[in-house]
Copies of this chain bind each other. A is one copy, B any other.
Amino acid sequence: MGTTQLETVPEPKYWHLKNVIGEALDSEFSIGEILPNERDLAARFGVARATLRQALEQLELEGRLQRRRGVGTTVAPPRMGVAVGSPRQNWPGNDDDWRTVDCMQTLAPVAVARLLDQDPARTVHLVRRSRVSGGQPVAAELLYVTESAVPELSGIDAPAGPARARAVLRELHRLDLEGEDRSVELASARADDAKELDRLPGAPVLLVTTRYFAQGRTAAVSMATYRADTCRLTFGDTGDVEIHHGAERQAQAS
Protein backbone atom coordinates (compact mmCIF):
# COMPACT_ATOMS: atom_id res chain seq x y z
CA MET A 1 0.00 0.00 0.00
CA GLY A 2 3.04 2.24 -0.37
CA THR A 3 1.55 4.05 -3.35
CA THR A 4 -1.19 5.80 -1.42
CA GLN A 5 0.60 7.96 1.11
CA LEU A 6 -1.81 10.85 1.37
CA GLU A 7 0.30 12.67 3.89
CA THR A 8 3.94 12.56 4.85
CA VAL A 9 4.74 11.35 8.34
CA PRO A 10 8.25 11.12 9.77
CA GLU A 11 9.17 7.45 10.03
CA PRO A 12 11.17 5.91 12.86
CA LYS A 13 14.40 4.18 11.86
CA TYR A 14 13.11 0.64 12.49
CA TRP A 15 10.10 1.35 10.29
CA HIS A 16 12.24 2.50 7.40
CA LEU A 17 14.51 -0.53 7.92
CA LYS A 18 11.45 -2.79 7.94
CA ASN A 19 10.49 -1.53 4.49
CA VAL A 20 14.03 -1.94 3.20
CA ILE A 21 14.24 -5.53 4.48
CA GLY A 22 10.77 -6.20 3.11
CA GLU A 23 11.98 -5.21 -0.35
CA ALA A 24 15.06 -7.42 0.07
CA LEU A 25 12.78 -10.34 0.98
CA ASP A 26 10.87 -9.80 -2.26
CA SER A 27 13.88 -9.60 -4.50
CA GLU A 28 16.48 -11.88 -2.91
CA PHE A 29 14.74 -14.54 -0.85
CA SER A 30 12.26 -17.29 -1.49
CA ILE A 31 9.60 -18.70 0.81
CA GLY A 32 11.03 -20.92 3.54
CA GLU A 33 14.55 -19.59 3.13
CA ILE A 34 16.51 -18.99 6.33
CA LEU A 35 17.67 -15.42 6.94
CA PRO A 36 21.30 -14.63 7.82
CA ASN A 37 21.90 -14.19 11.54
CA GLU A 38 21.21 -10.88 13.28
CA ARG A 39 24.84 -9.81 13.43
CA ASP A 40 25.33 -10.22 9.68
CA LEU A 41 22.02 -8.51 8.89
CA ALA A 42 22.80 -5.57 11.18
CA ALA A 43 26.19 -5.19 9.50
CA ARG A 44 24.69 -5.37 6.02
CA PHE A 45 22.11 -2.66 6.69
CA GLY A 46 24.44 -0.59 8.86
CA VAL A 47 22.12 -0.50 11.88
CA ALA A 48 22.29 -1.39 15.56
CA ARG A 49 21.14 -4.86 16.59
CA ALA A 50 18.27 -3.33 18.59
CA THR A 51 16.95 -1.50 15.52
CA LEU A 52 17.28 -4.64 13.44
CA ARG A 53 15.35 -6.65 16.01
CA GLN A 54 12.52 -4.12 16.02
CA ALA A 55 12.29 -4.30 12.24
CA LEU A 56 12.27 -8.11 12.30
CA GLU A 57 9.52 -8.06 14.92
CA GLN A 58 7.43 -5.83 12.63
CA LEU A 59 7.90 -8.24 9.74
CA GLU A 60 6.91 -11.12 12.00
CA LEU A 61 3.74 -9.22 13.06
CA GLU A 62 2.90 -8.75 9.40
CA GLY A 63 3.32 -12.45 8.70
CA ARG A 64 6.33 -11.91 6.43
CA LEU A 65 8.82 -13.71 8.67
CA GLN A 66 8.52 -16.70 10.96
CA ARG A 67 10.74 -17.38 13.93
CA ARG A 68 10.90 -21.04 14.78
CA ARG A 69 12.76 -22.70 17.61
CA GLY A 70 15.76 -24.62 16.37
CA VAL A 71 15.35 -23.34 12.82
CA GLY A 72 15.89 -19.60 12.95
CA THR A 73 14.09 -16.85 11.08
CA THR A 74 12.56 -17.91 7.76
CA VAL A 75 10.61 -16.17 5.02
CA ALA A 76 6.95 -16.97 5.66
CA PRO A 77 4.53 -18.31 3.07
CA PRO A 78 1.39 -16.20 2.46
CA ARG A 79 -1.12 -16.46 5.30
CA MET A 80 -3.83 -19.08 5.02
CA GLY A 81 -7.43 -17.93 4.75
CA VAL A 82 -9.32 -19.76 7.50
CA ALA A 83 -13.12 -19.55 7.38
CA VAL A 84 -14.57 -18.50 10.72
CA GLY A 85 -18.01 -17.05 10.20
CA SER A 86 -20.62 -17.64 7.55
CA PRO A 87 -24.10 -16.17 7.11
CA ARG A 88 -25.43 -19.72 7.43
CA GLN A 89 -25.23 -20.26 11.14
CA ASN A 90 -23.76 -23.53 12.22
CA TRP A 91 -23.34 -25.40 15.43
CA PRO A 92 -19.71 -25.99 16.31
CA GLY A 93 -18.53 -29.35 15.08
CA ASN A 94 -20.16 -29.31 11.64
CA ASP A 95 -16.74 -29.12 10.13
CA ASP A 96 -14.17 -31.73 9.18
CA ASP A 97 -11.33 -29.37 10.03
CA TRP A 98 -11.88 -29.76 13.75
CA ARG A 99 -10.46 -32.65 15.73
CA THR A 100 -12.00 -33.49 19.07
CA VAL A 101 -9.32 -33.73 21.74
CA ASP A 102 -10.99 -34.13 25.08
CA CYS A 103 -14.03 -33.46 27.24
CA MET A 104 -14.52 -32.89 30.94
CA GLN A 105 -17.01 -31.52 33.42
CA THR A 106 -15.62 -28.44 35.09
CA LEU A 107 -16.39 -24.95 36.32
CA ALA A 108 -16.27 -22.29 33.64
CA PRO A 109 -14.20 -19.15 34.22
CA VAL A 110 -16.35 -16.38 35.69
CA ALA A 111 -16.41 -14.38 32.45
CA VAL A 112 -17.53 -17.45 30.47
CA ALA A 113 -20.21 -18.25 33.06
CA ARG A 114 -21.51 -14.72 32.56
CA LEU A 115 -21.62 -15.22 28.77
CA LEU A 116 -23.50 -18.46 29.39
CA ASP A 117 -25.77 -16.52 31.74
CA GLN A 118 -25.46 -19.08 34.49
CA ASP A 119 -24.15 -19.38 38.05
CA PRO A 120 -20.34 -19.79 38.06
CA ALA A 121 -20.77 -22.51 40.70
CA ARG A 122 -22.59 -24.77 38.18
CA THR A 123 -20.42 -27.14 36.16
CA VAL A 124 -20.34 -27.15 32.35
CA HIS A 125 -19.15 -29.58 29.69
CA LEU A 126 -15.82 -28.40 28.40
CA VAL A 127 -14.97 -29.81 24.96
CA ARG A 128 -11.45 -29.21 23.79
CA ARG A 129 -10.82 -29.25 20.05
CA SER A 130 -8.06 -28.37 17.66
CA ARG A 131 -8.22 -27.24 14.07
CA VAL A 132 -5.79 -28.22 11.35
CA SER A 133 -5.58 -26.53 7.96
CA GLY A 134 -3.10 -27.36 5.22
CA GLY A 135 -1.46 -29.87 7.53
CA GLN A 136 -0.69 -27.23 10.16
CA PRO A 137 -2.30 -26.57 13.54
CA VAL A 138 -4.18 -23.26 13.21
CA ALA A 139 -6.49 -23.10 16.20
CA ALA A 140 -7.14 -24.50 19.67
CA GLU A 141 -10.66 -24.22 21.04
CA LEU A 142 -12.30 -24.44 24.43
CA LEU A 143 -16.03 -25.04 23.90
CA TYR A 144 -18.20 -24.61 27.00
CA VAL A 145 -21.64 -26.25 26.79
CA THR A 146 -24.25 -25.80 29.52
CA GLU A 147 -25.53 -28.97 31.12
CA SER A 148 -29.10 -27.81 30.62
CA ALA A 149 -28.55 -27.66 26.83
CA VAL A 150 -27.64 -31.35 26.67
CA PRO A 151 -29.68 -33.02 29.45
CA GLU A 152 -29.79 -36.45 27.77
CA LEU A 153 -26.07 -36.83 28.13
CA SER A 154 -26.32 -38.57 31.49
CA GLY A 155 -27.15 -41.75 29.60
CA ILE A 156 -23.75 -41.80 27.84
CA ASP A 157 -21.20 -44.17 29.30
CA ALA A 158 -17.84 -42.52 28.59
CA PRO A 159 -17.14 -40.01 31.40
CA ALA A 160 -14.45 -38.09 29.48
CA GLY A 161 -12.28 -38.20 26.36
CA PRO A 162 -13.02 -37.80 22.65
CA ALA A 163 -16.02 -40.15 22.71
CA ARG A 164 -17.63 -38.05 25.41
CA ALA A 165 -16.83 -34.89 23.43
CA ARG A 166 -18.54 -36.28 20.33
CA ALA A 167 -21.58 -37.22 22.42
CA VAL A 168 -21.83 -33.67 23.78
CA LEU A 169 -21.61 -32.22 20.27
CA ARG A 170 -24.18 -34.71 18.95
CA GLU A 171 -26.67 -33.74 21.67
CA LEU A 172 -25.97 -30.05 21.06
CA HIS A 173 -26.68 -30.44 17.34
CA ARG A 174 -30.17 -31.71 18.11
CA LEU A 175 -31.19 -28.26 19.28
CA ASP A 176 -32.40 -25.57 16.88
CA LEU A 177 -29.64 -22.98 16.61
CA GLU A 178 -31.39 -19.63 16.99
CA GLY A 179 -28.43 -17.34 16.52
CA GLU A 180 -24.81 -16.71 17.21
CA ASP A 181 -22.53 -13.77 17.72
CA ARG A 182 -18.83 -13.46 17.65
CA SER A 183 -15.92 -11.22 18.60
CA VAL A 184 -12.29 -11.15 17.48
CA GLU A 185 -9.46 -9.64 19.49
CA LEU A 186 -5.72 -9.81 19.85
CA ALA A 187 -4.46 -11.97 22.71
CA SER A 188 -1.39 -13.90 23.75
CA ALA A 189 -1.34 -17.70 23.68
CA ARG A 190 -1.88 -19.50 26.98
CA ALA A 191 0.76 -22.13 27.72
CA ASP A 192 -1.34 -25.17 26.77
CA ASP A 193 -2.79 -23.55 23.63
CA ALA A 194 0.71 -22.46 22.63
CA LYS A 195 1.94 -26.02 22.87
CA GLU A 196 -0.88 -27.26 20.66
CA LEU A 197 -0.22 -24.49 18.14
CA ASP A 198 3.54 -25.11 18.13
CA ARG A 199 4.26 -21.63 19.47
CA LEU A 200 5.83 -20.23 22.62
CA PRO A 201 3.49 -19.13 25.41
CA GLY A 202 2.59 -15.50 24.88
CA ALA A 203 2.80 -15.59 21.08
CA PRO A 204 0.27 -13.23 19.45
CA VAL A 205 -2.99 -15.01 18.67
CA LEU A 206 -6.43 -13.98 17.49
CA LEU A 207 -9.04 -14.91 20.09
CA VAL A 208 -12.45 -15.65 18.53
CA THR A 209 -15.28 -15.77 21.08
CA THR A 210 -18.59 -17.16 19.81
CA ARG A 211 -21.91 -17.42 21.63
CA TYR A 212 -24.46 -19.94 20.38
CA PHE A 213 -28.12 -19.37 21.22
CA ALA A 214 -30.85 -22.03 21.48
CA GLN A 215 -34.12 -22.38 23.42
CA GLY A 216 -33.98 -18.66 24.11
CA ARG A 217 -30.71 -18.94 25.99
CA THR A 218 -26.97 -19.16 25.48
CA ALA A 219 -26.32 -22.88 24.99
CA ALA A 220 -22.59 -22.80 24.36
CA VAL A 221 -19.60 -20.48 24.24
CA SER A 222 -16.50 -21.14 22.17
CA MET A 223 -13.13 -19.51 22.91
CA ALA A 224 -10.96 -20.31 19.89
CA THR A 225 -7.34 -19.24 19.69
CA TYR A 226 -6.01 -18.83 16.12
CA ARG A 227 -2.36 -18.43 15.20
CA ALA A 228 -1.99 -14.79 14.21
CA ASP A 229 1.23 -15.35 12.28
CA THR A 230 -0.11 -17.85 9.75
CA CYS A 231 -3.88 -17.22 9.68
CA ARG A 232 -6.17 -14.69 8.10
CA LEU A 233 -9.72 -15.17 9.41
CA THR A 234 -12.38 -15.01 6.70
CA PHE A 235 -16.05 -14.16 7.05
CA GLY A 236 -18.83 -14.08 4.51
CA ASP A 237 -20.59 -16.03 1.82
CA THR A 238 -18.50 -15.56 -1.27
CA GLY A 239 -15.46 -17.54 -0.33
CA ASP A 240 -12.02 -16.47 0.63
CA VAL A 241 -10.86 -12.88 0.43
CA GLU A 242 -7.81 -13.33 -1.70
CA ILE A 243 -5.66 -10.53 -0.41
CA HIS A 244 -2.47 -11.07 1.47
CA HIS A 245 1.00 -9.63 1.55
CA GLY A 246 2.31 -12.65 -0.28
CA ALA A 247 0.08 -12.05 -3.27
CA GLU A 248 0.91 -8.38 -3.31
CA ARG A 249 4.57 -9.24 -3.14
CA GLN A 250 4.39 -11.75 -5.95
CA ALA A 251 2.31 -9.47 -8.12
CA GLN A 252 4.67 -6.58 -7.63
CA ALA A 253 7.65 -8.78 -8.40
CA SER A 254 6.19 -10.12 -11.63
Contact = CB atoms under 8 A, between A and B. Distances in A.
B186 A204 contact: yes
Contacts of A194: 9
Main secondary structure of the interface of A (DSSP, over half): mixed
A181 B115 contact: no
A191 B15 contact: yes
Contact of A4 (B3, B10, B106, B242): B106
Given A6-B128, A11-B191, A211-B238, A233 B58 contact: no
A12 interface: yes
A112 B204 CA distance: 26
A179 B1 contact: no
A128 B7 CA distance: 11
Contacts of A187: 61-63
A108 to B, nearest CB: 8
Interface in A206-254: 206, 209-211, 213, 223, 228-229, 231-245, 247-248, 251-252
Contacts of A184: 184, 206, 232-233, 235
B239 A181 contact: yes
Interface string A99-128: 000101011111110110000000000101
A182 interface: yes
Contact of A106 (B3, B15, B57): B3
A183 B248 contact: no
Nearest to A248: B111
Interface in A60-87: 61-63, 79, 81, 85, 87
A167 interface: no
* A: contact size bracket: 35 or more
A238 B117 CA distance: 14
13 contacts: A1-B109, A9-B201, A11-B191, A15-B202, A54-B202, A58-B202, A62-B187, A180-B238, A181-B236, A181-B238, A181-B240, A183-B240, A185-B206
Interface of A: 1-7, 9-12, 14-15, 18, 54, 57-58, 61-63, 79, 81, 85, 87, 102, 104, 106-112, 114-115, 126, 128, 142, 179-188, 190-192, 194-195, 200-202, 204, 206, 209-211, 213, 223, 228-229, 231-245, 247-248, 251-252
